[in-house]
Amino acid sequence: MVNKHIDFVVRFMQWFNGKSVLITGGAGFIGFHLCKALSNFSSNLTIYDNLSSGKFENVTGIQNAHFVKADILDQKTLFSTPKADLIYHLAAQVVVPYSMDNPVDDFETNTRGTLYVLEKARKDDAKLVFASSAAVYGNPSKLPTPEEYGHHPFSFYGLSKAVAEDYCNMYHEKYGLDVTILRFANVYGSRCHGVINDFLDKIKRNPYKLEIIGTGEQSRDFIHVSDVVDALLLSAVKEKAKGQTYNVGFGKTTRIVDLAKMILRSWV
């Protein structure tokens, strides 16, 4: 296992060395961890973020990195960034309730914004890794859900991601663009603001009581951000990932109420 890990690190260093990498949404939760990993491989990074949800302190101290504060809908600024060998498209509107109240804004960022990033990739002849979501499945009847299950979103967020995926696939089919789509489950880890971190914040305030919003019967597939970063790195270096779509998750769901119980047991 140790030798296999070393082999992966060596392979990453060889592939990423000297590469020009553009990371949209690079100041966000996943973007921070990805940029931190990429900085170890002597890549030349352009971190592109409008800081609507990302934080500037996430990108300070990242080696070989240039930060651009701009929106992906700003075509002029996006297209003027250095020519990229690889683009990680992480920038997105990810709040499901917001998408239901503001479907136009959600579409603009997640669908039109992805189209602009695809054009940037086509212009630069760059590989594109697109961060999609398991939300494209909606409420699937089959768990774990295979990639072939198809799009059945129940939210505008899931719909905007599904349409963005269709654009990615069309660019691959019509232009031969090297695109890989990764459908993330619920990602957790340091600097995250998801349900796990919410529970941890609550339990710090009161270690004997943990409030659950809703029934707690909802089930989620949770995956640590370090595993997501590994998937992002592998999707760039693996030739067979070209034109493919992959689920990135633990493969097992956990009820929110059971998650709360696990956190309580480990804390008290």
User: Mind telling me the catalytic residues?
Assistant: 157
How many Å apart are CA 131 and CA 227, to the nearest integer? 14
Q: Which residue has the tokens 């603001």?
A: 193
Contact 89, 117 (CB under 8 A): yes
Tell me which residue of 196, 180, 168, 164 sits closest to 92, measured CA to CA: 164
DSSP 75-113: HHHHHTSPP-SEEEE------HHHHHH-HHHHHIIIIIH
- β-pair type (219-224, 253-255): antiparallel
Tell me which residue of 188, 262, 238 sits closest to 11, measured CA to CA: 238
